[in-house]
Amino acid sequence: MKKKIETIKQRIAAHKVQKELQKGRRDKGATIKRIVAFFNRYLAVCFVFILVYLFLLYLLVRVERNVPGSTIKTMGHAIWYSLATLTTVGYGDFYPVTPAGRVIASVFLVLGIGLLGFFVGFMVEFFARIRPAVILSINAAKPWYIFTARSPQAMIFAENLKAVRHDAMIIYASTKDDDKSSRFISVSWPVEELIERRGSLYDAHVMCMKENEMENFLDAVALSDIEVPIICLADFTPAHHPMNINFFSLTDCTARIFWQQYPITGKTETILLIGFGNAGSVMLDRAIELNVLYDDQSIRYHVFGESSEYRRNRKLLSDIVSVNEIVDDRDCIIFHDDLWNTDEELLASADRIVLCADEEQENIEILHTIQKFFTVRGSIYIYNSNVRSVATPFGQTRDVLTPAFVLHNCLSDMALCRHEMFRFMFGGDIPMWENLNSLIKDINYVTTDHISVKVRMLLGDEAPNKPFDEIPPEILRKAAAVFDSMEGEEKERLRRIEHNRNIRFYKLHNFRYGETIDDEQRINPLIRPYDELDERGKVLADTSWALITELASHKEAKRRR
């Protein structure tokens, strides 16, 4: 395990060196140097203009002062005349009368136009450069969210963030300032320099949210030395990565939101997943992990689409669900090789139909076909679409890119809390949070997401159909009181369900039973039937149920702030 971590760390370090050679690190005096260079460039031009200006004034006085009728006889006269000419005012009280003087005056007229453009350009560029620095200095105490690019995803999240956190400073780094709106700031400075300007790491976030997810990953790794939270939009999470990087996926957030907002309520339900790409795979994974309410439930998932790779990767899938065979006391997954519109009776009898192809156009075409040719009694859900007539849309970017699901502060807090309780009860064999790989952290995240299901199991119809972090603390306290009042077989049943849910996660990721815990070898002593556990192993399930109380306390503490 250690050897693998060191290898990945070496790879990350090598990438940082390469990134540093490509871009170069700015030293602490870089800002001052650029300001000096900016002024030096304009000062050099000004100096040349002043020399030419004084020379022309001298010539003008020489050719005009001894001529009868001349009005320009001293340097004072010449300066006044030049100012009136250069500013295009032209009072007419001083003027040249000699041919040579008029030639010099013509030069002043041309210079007047050039100087006016020069000073206007200087002032525009000066204020364009100084404006962001002034705004950032004034708002240094506010929370900063520094984006690596001004992508569509970044702008959507920024709007959602400002809606709930009005004092947040939205800053687009390394971006041309083409928007003068005071709500958002675009600057040419890189992320490192913006953090230096802030002078404090408190309440600052770096948001790697470019359109290219691999670029986000590389940016996050390169910036990880800056000890601020880094939020990285990527569909993949490396097993080991710097502690301050938090990865999130649009498809994963979509699946989490869907099964919490539109939960399973009965022991038996027939669900059709049509269009089985990346989004469909994640939807099914999260369904298997989250939709666990009864010990004898039989949720039937019918999958239409290319599923061969999904099945090849999940070697132990048949250990946790019935595959391609419907049974009455176990969840079932039926992978269909024929097309979705072959079985008319199945379409008509389904409790819900989820159109989850990766492309919106494909989902819309399937929906159009269903409307035109088939009768359905269940609810229809359509992924990544604005269609609202006969289907319920879900997974739209604007609904997913919210502070709750991107920053997932509450999710992380509760996942860490669950892990620490687990370590306390199990003993020193469990690694600390910072030493866990991403997969084991994910089981704590899934357990936290399952709080909404647990509340529904305890309160029934009184439970709201909301994600766990939107459930009011009063409801959480009520659910916790119901659990605490249980004893005997009733509590044992809930422990069994929770243990089986954990087994689902492990076996979905090809973990097997082993005498010791070794996450790299994917073995764990808890991966066995509930009845074979010792008393301590059975009581470990209570840590997950205790999260209901912990979440209530967490929410109440936030209210008091």
> Residues 437-491: pLDDT tens digits?
888 899 999 999 999 999 999 999 899 988 898 999 999 999 999 999 998 899 9
Q: Give residue 132's identity as a one-letter amino acid code.
A: P
List residues bridging with 232 in a β-sheet. Answer: 208, 247
pLDDT over threshold 60, residue 105: yes
- How far apart, in whole angstroms, are the C-alpha atoms of residue 354 and residue 333? 14
Structure tokens at 153: 């995803």
> Residues 327-377: pLDDT tens digits?
998 999 999 999 999 999 999 999 999 999 999 999 999 999 999 999 999
- How far apart, in whole angstroms, are the C-alpha atoms of residue 302 and residue 345? 13
> Residues 27-68: pLDDT tens digits?
444 445 555 555 566 667 667 777 877 888 888 888 888 888
Question: Considering only CA atoms, which of 245, 350, 242, 238 is closest in space to residue 302?
Answer: 350
**Torsion angle of the four alpha carbons 104, 109, 114, 117, in this order, in degrees rounded to the nearest 10:** 160
**554 contacts 413 by C-beta, under 8 angstroms:** yes
Domains, the chain: 30-133 (1.10.287.70), 139-248 (3.40.50), 252-400 (3.40.50), 408-560 (no CATH)
- Percent above pLDDT 90 for the chain: 51
Comparing 202-206, 413-417, 422-426, the range with the smallest average pLDDT is 422-426
**143 contacts 168 by C-beta, under 8 angstroms:** yes
* Phi, psi at 379, each rounded to 5°: -80, 145
In which band, very low, low, confident or very high, does the pLDDT at 497 lie, cut at 50, 70 and 90? very high
Average pLDDT, integer, range 111-128: 67
CB-hemisphere CA count at 13 Å for 204? Answer: 21
Average pLDDT, integer, range 282-293: 96
**Helix 451-459 vs helix 542-560: angle between axes, to the nearest 10 degrees?**
100
